Amino acid sequence: MARPSSSDTATLHYGDGEFAVLKPGRAVICAVSGKSIPLETLRYWSVSRQEAYAGPTEAFQGLGQRP
């Protein structure tokens, strides 16, 4: 998926097991890879860092751990 335009990028608040949409959009950007993540497929994020990850590998990298 191509990187969404700023109007397509959502702003979220990441909680434990759920997230709240603060600004509507179709996707967020992975904090590690810069990939676009459609909201319907978003499964990995950090509550303490308030950032999204494209998958488990990026989540481990973002949290400073080895997969």
∠ CA 6-11-19 to the nearest 5 degrees? 150
pLDDT greater than 90 at residue 63: no
Model confidence over 21-36: pLDDT tens digits?
999 999 999 999 999 9
* Domain map (residue ranges) of the chain: 11-62
Q: What is the pTM of this model?
A: 0.85
Model confidence over 6-61: pLDDT tens digits?
669 999 999 999 999 999 999 999 999 999 999 999 999 999 999 999 999 999 99
Exposure on the CB side of residue 39, measured as CA atoms within 13 A: 17
